[in-house]
């Protein structure tokens, strides 16, 4: 196992490429850039005071991020956070005097803050992710090895009958076993028709590994995530929270009390690439109208998490890995019948709850035709663009969505 000195040396191997990436933050203020240049080129030992100065740069850029709309933040601001986080990591690993486990835990916090609020450098796009991989080699955290595997419905037929009896004018979504590419393209992509693809991901290691939550704790327990707090994002008290993987599992996934915590629509596989080794991008995503990469998102949380009825602009293969989800789909032709919110920020979200539609308040919903299913581990649901979909977790659940144009 590598000692901390070896880790420090490996981290410093990225100094040259980070130095070249300084041109990417030319627009940052002169004082911040001078400090970055000083610490990245210095052959002298950095100390605690230098770490504080680097942190001051991070704090200053973080304030800039929070001034306005996230989408309007200039790239140089976030790239400065990435570079400063790397420099802070170097100083922390080299000069921290705590025990190894504490040093590693704090190092991951530095990295994850940089990933969450920074952005990739053109010269070294996976800089902080690669640093995390190096640190994983000495991640000696200890935890209980008690069984933490997840359980599902005891009676599959009962849950199916219960769903069928509760849907007004509903149509069960078709299930087919691993269709040919031609079949999928002709009958579902072109026809913009939803379908469940069964037995297409039996080869995924995730189907076995992710059923044991100890796997996540061992692999990524100290890593920091941003989770959603609240029953659904349309609630007035909905918010977000930074939390480690282990804390999230202990406080929210395993505790079905209090407010709901949900890792939703999260780029987990960019932040923790080791998890991406457990899945494979489906070949069905190759039917595309652009050269843009497929967006791969994680959805992980306890029983009862809800995504209100909404639609997305891209094609989606929602893949169930752990647990089960109750899902309702409605065609774009039913848009008027589901009563979209009038507010601009929520106009892709409907007011109707298809589980128990209030026909007095939303009378046109009786004219809608909902499609429904109980999505099970190993199944992928194809959701065409602009199709309305409502999702509810019926147990602890982990899903992966593949979005493409």
What is the average pLDDT score of the chain? 89
C-alpha 327 chain-centroid distance: 20
Backbone angles phi, psi at 301, to 5 degrees: 180, -175
User: 331 or 157: which carries more pLDDT confidence?
Assistant: 331
- Lowest-confidence segment of 214-218, 287-291, 327-331 by average pLDDT: 287-291
- Classify residue 111 as exposed, middle or buried by CB count within 10 Å of its CB (0-12, 13-18, 19+): buried
Q: In terms of Cα–Cα distance, which of 271, 11, 244, 223 is closest to 119? A: 271
Confidence (pLDDT) at 1:
45
- pLDDT average, residue stretch 322-345: 93
Confidence (pLDDT) at 99:
77
- Which tokens is 207 given? 């189907």
Confidence (pLDDT) at 115:
97
With bands split at pLDDT 50, 70 and 90, how would you rate the model's confidence at 41? confident
Selection from 27-31, 134-138, 156-160, 162-166 with the highest mean pLDDT: 27-31
Q: How far apart are CA 283 and CA 285, in angstroms?
A: 5
With bands split at pLDDT 50, 70 and 90, how would you rate the model's confidence at 151? very low
Q: Is the pLDDT of residue 366 over 90?
A: yes
Q: How far apart are CA 225 and CA 207, in angstroms?
A: 22
Helix, strand, or coil here: 223? coil
For CA atoms 35, 40, 44, 48, give the dihedral sign: positive
- Give the DSSP letter of residue 217: H
In which residue are the tokens 């203020």 written? 29
Confidence (pLDDT) at 158:
47
User: 234 or 249: which carries more pLDDT confidence?
Assistant: 249
- Helix pair angle (100-117, 48-65), 10° resolution: 30
What counts of helices (H) and strands (E) characterise the chain? Answer: 14, 14
For CA atoms 282, 285, 287, 291, give the dihedral sign: negative
Sheet containing strand 261-266, edge to edge, reads 175-177, 195-198, 379-383, 315-322, 397-404, 295-301, 261-266, 224-229, 239-244
Q: Is the pLDDT of residue 294 over 70?
A: yes
- pLDDT average, residue stretch 99-111: 90
Q: What is the pTM of this model?
A: 0.88
With bands split at pLDDT 50, 70 and 90, how would you rate the model's confidence at 96? confident
């Amino acid at each position: 196992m590598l000692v901390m000195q070896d880790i420090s040396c490996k981290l410093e191997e990225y100094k040259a490429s980070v130095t070249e990436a300084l041109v990417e933050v030319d627009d940052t203020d002169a004082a911040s850039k001078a400090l970055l240049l000083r610490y990245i080129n210095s052959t002298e030992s950095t100390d605690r005071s230098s770490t504080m100065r680097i942190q001051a740069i991070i704090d200053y850029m973080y304030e800039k991020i929070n001034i306005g709309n996230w989408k309007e933040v200039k790239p140089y601001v976030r790239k400065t956070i990435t570079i400063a986080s790397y420099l802070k990591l170097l100083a922390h690993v080299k000069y921290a005097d705590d025990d190894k486990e504490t040093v590693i835990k704090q190092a991951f916090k530095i990295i994850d803050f940089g990933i969450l609020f920074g952005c990739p450098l053109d010269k070294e796009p996976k800089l902080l992710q690669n640093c995390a991989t190096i640190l994983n080699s000495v991640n000696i955290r200890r935890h209980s090895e008690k069984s933490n595997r997840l359980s599902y419905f005891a009676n599959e037929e009962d849950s199916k009958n219960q769903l069928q009896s509760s849907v007004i004018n509903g149509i069960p979504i078709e299930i087919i076993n691993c269709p040919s590419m031609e079949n999928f393209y002709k009958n579902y992509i072109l026809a913009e028709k939803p379908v469940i693809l069964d037995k297409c991901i039996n080869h995924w290691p995730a189907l076995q590994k992710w059923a044991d939550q100890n796997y996540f704790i061992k692999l990524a327990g100290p890593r920091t995530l941003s989770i959603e707090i609240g029953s659904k994002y349309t609630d007035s008290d909905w918010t977000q929270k930074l939390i480690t993987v282990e804390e999230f599992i202990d406080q929210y996934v395993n505790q079905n009390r209090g407010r709901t915590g949900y890792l939703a629509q999260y780029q987990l596989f960019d932040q923790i690439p080791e998890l991406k080794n457990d899945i494979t991008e489906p070949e069905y995503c190759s039917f595309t109208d652009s050269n843009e990469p497929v967006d791969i998102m994680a959805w992980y949380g306890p029983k009862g998490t809800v995504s209100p009825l909404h639609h997305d602009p891209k094609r989606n293969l929602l893949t169930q890995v752990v647990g089960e989800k109750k899902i309702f789909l409605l065609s774009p032709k039913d848009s008027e019948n589901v009563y979209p919110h009038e507010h601009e920020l929520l106009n892709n979200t409907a007011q109707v709850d298809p589980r128990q539609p209030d026909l007095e308040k939303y009378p046109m919903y009786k004219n809608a035709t909902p499609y429904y299913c109980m999505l099970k581990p190993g199944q992928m649901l194809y959701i065409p663009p602009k199709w309305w979909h409502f999702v509810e977790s019926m147990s602890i659940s982990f899903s992966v969505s593949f979005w493409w144009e």
